[in-house]
Amino acid sequence: MREVGHFIGGKTVSGTSGRFGDVFNPSTGDVQAKVALASKAEVEAAIANAEAAQPAWAATNPQRRARVMFKFLELIQKEMDSLAALLASEHGKVISDAKGDIQRGVEVVEFACGVPHLLKGEFNDSAGPGIDLYSMRQPLGVVAGITPFNFPAMIPLWKAAPAIACGNAFVLKPSERDPSVPMRLAELFLEAGLPAGVFNVVNGDKEAVDALLVDPRIKAIGFVGSTPIAEYIYATGCAHGKRVQCFGGAKNHMIIMPDADMDQAVDALVGAGYGAAGERCMAISVAVPVGEKTADALVQKLIPRVESLKVGPSTDPQADYGPLVTKAHLNKVRGYVDTGVKEGAKLLVDGRNFKLQGYENGNFLGGCLFDNVTKDMTIYKEEIFGPVLSVVRAKDYAEALRLPSEHEYGNGVSIFTRDGDTARDFTSKVNVGMVGVNFAIPVPLAYHTFGGWKRSGFGDLNQHGPDSIRFYTKTKTVTARWPSGTKEGAEFSIPTMR
């Protein structure tokens, strides 16, 4: 059985805790590897390696640090096919989507290549007589990332690339469900010229996470995952004096106005609702048609599209989406569908009995479509994270605007309309962090920032873009004057600009 260990101090090392987790092949249900679950001592060893490597890395000029990123990009492009195959085999998403997962991470590495420019401080010449005032951005030291299963390449790179480019050393604790791609990324970083110890991977569960949360050498934590864990990490990390940003769960709505291009809206809903089996934090899980006529037209068009979704193993190039990540998650999602039926929603397409010949033990679920879902139902309130779309009928625009605005999650939202005035009003008023206009999955590009509101995001800076540079550096401000013969004597009152 293949064993996945840790990557510490520039080397792959075996786990010593004696504890292991199963890494499945979601298409077959088989265990394909054992992943070591780190003890506190192993995490501490990774932190010690990072701490030893960080000063020299910070002293390497930003342009040279950027060159490592450029080389890393080249290596990832060369390995794109094998990385995507490895990712898909542990996660279950189809290969084309696995390439997208890697590519959206690559784009943040491209952003981080601009770090010499991004780190430029501010300067005021002659802020007072012969006085210059300037600020500089300096790395924090050792920082950590704790990442979810659903984007095993993209999210580690969203965190590590800006952090490392800024001169920090990094300890990554990826999801124990699909740990192999992060391990391979660590090898590629080393091959690209990153000094040993600057990027470390410790695999593990709560024990490893808790060790990171309390260690005083860790200066910042970037987390992505479910909301209860995000809240726990935010509270514990902050209580231990760290800078913390945590991104949590979601319930993304798509509003369909009566004037929307219905075919475009249906295409968008099917892709954004069922792509990656709905295991995306920016998946659309709630469709909100405005008015009964719009709702009837939408549902009529949606039913055949959901019924004809092609579900297959991650290696099938014809498949629209693959299996869910684990059997436990499959059962959880099925349980939500059962609850929806019990609570009175109308199940228009039932994917629960889907079976795939030759893959009987795979974690497959056919597409499910609910109509007449209401605000008080569990399937509306909670994140399902599966191929299940709920239609909530709104009587007018005002109600459609209220639904996502009042939901406890506030990651993404989208509106489909041909009316600029409605779209403008919506983007301005909706209480959600990322908004799409005729765009179902509004994940901002690398040079803007990504982050949800309300219980989808904790902390005050977003991921990637300019916020990532602020998050991974601290600002130092210098007031400087050179001797010029001026003698003012001692001042006992605070100097002001009066």
Query: Which residue numbers are catalytic?
Result: 281
Report, in Å, the least distance between residue 432 CB and ligand NAD: 12
388 binds ligand NAD, rule: CB under 6 A = no
Q: Provide the minimum distance between the beta carbon of 10 and ligand NAD in the complex, in angstroms, as a whole number.
A: 23
Q: Among 17-25, 127-135, 248-256, 490-498, which window interacts with ligand NAD (CB under 6 A)?
A: 248-256
23: Cα within 13 Å, side-chain hemisphere:
29
User: Would you state the structure tokens that stand for residue 116, as one six-digit string?
Assistant: 């010499």
Task: Report the Cα 183 to chain-centroid distance in Å.
Answer: 18
CA distance 113 to 308: 43
Question: Binding to ligand NAD by residue 456, rule CB under 6 A?
Answer: yes
User: CB-hemisphere CA count at 13 Å for 228?
Assistant: 2
From 22, 187, 205, 399, residue interacting with ligand NAD (rule: CB under 6 A): 205
Is residue 286 close enough to count as binding ligand NAD by CB under 6 A?
no
- The residue whose Cβ lies closest to ligand NAD is 225
413 is a contact residue toward ligand NAD (CB under 6 A): no
Stretch of 30-38, 148-156, 331-339, 362-370 lying at the interface with ligand NAD (CB under 6 A) = 148-156
Among 111, 247, 336, 359, binds ligand NAD (CB under 6 A): 247
Stretch that binds ligand NAD, among 221-229, 333-341, 345-353, 369-377 (CB under 6 A): 221-229
Is residue 392 near ligand NAD by the rule CB under 6 A? no
Q: Using CB under 6 A, which of 2, 64, 120, 206 touches ligand NAD?
A: 206
Candidates 156, 162, 179, 248: give the one binding ligand NAD (CB under 6 A): 248
Cβ proximity to ligand NAD, 60 vs 226, nearer residue: 226
Question: Which one, 257 or 430, has the nearer CB to ligand NAD?
Answer: 430
Does 277 help bind ligand NAD (rule: CB under 6 A)?
Answer: no
Does position 389 interact with ligand NAD (CB under 6 A)? The reply is: no
Under the binding rule (CB under 6 A), the answer on residue 200 touching ligand NAD is no
| Length reported for the chain | 498
> Is position 209 an interface residue for ligand NAD (rule: CB under 6 A)?
yes
**Residue with smaller CB distance to ligand NAD, 152 or 366:** 152
Q: Report if residue 359 touches ligand NAD, rule: CB under 6 A.
A: no
**Residue 278 contacts ligand NAD per CB under 6 A:** no
Print the binding letters for residues 155-174 with ligand NAD: x by CB under 6 A, - otherwise.
------------------x-
314 is a contact residue toward ligand NAD (CB under 6 A): no
Candidates 75-83, 142-150, 312-320, 466-474; binding stretch for ligand NAD (CB under 6 A) = 142-150
Name which position in 115, 164, 276, 281 contacts ligand NAD (CB under 6 A). 281
The mark string for 18-47 relative to ligand NAD (x by CB under 6 A, - otherwise) is ------------------------------
* Distance, CA of 276 to CA of 144 (rounded, Å): 27
Half-sphere exposure of 98 (CA within 13 A, CB side): 27
Q: Binder to ligand NAD among 25, 49, 89, 147 (CB under 6 A)?
A: 147
* C-alpha 430: how far from chain center: 22
What is the layout of strands, in order, in the sheet containing 123-128? 123-128, 131-139, 473-481
Pick 167 or 465: Cβ nearer ligand NAD: 465
Told to check if 249 binds ligand NAD by CB under 6 A, we report yes
Any contact of residue 411 with ligand NAD (CB under 6 A)?
yes
242 binding ligand NAD? (CB under 6 A)? no
**Do 369 and 349 contact (CB within 8 A), yes or no?**
yes
Whole-number Å distance between alpha carbons of 121 and 138: 10
Phi, psi at 11, each rounded to 5°: -135, 150
From first CA to last CA, the distance across the chain in angstroms is 74
Nearest to 388 by CA among 376, 370, 411, 403: 370
Assess 222 for contact with ligand NAD (CB under 6 A): no
The residue among 210 and 399 lying less far from ligand NAD, judged by its C-beta, is 210
| 284 near ligand NAD (CB under 6 A) | no
The reply on whether position 452 binds ligand NAD by CB under 6 A is: yes
Q: Kindly tell me which residue out of 50, 115, 160, 250 binds ligand NAD, with binding defined by CB under 6 A.
A: 250
- Interface pick for ligand NAD out of 182, 225, 273, 465 (rule CB under 6 A): 225
What is the contact surface with ligand NAD in residues (CB under 6 A)? 146-151, 173, 175-176, 205-206, 209, 224-226, 229, 247-250, 281, 383, 385, 411, 452, 456
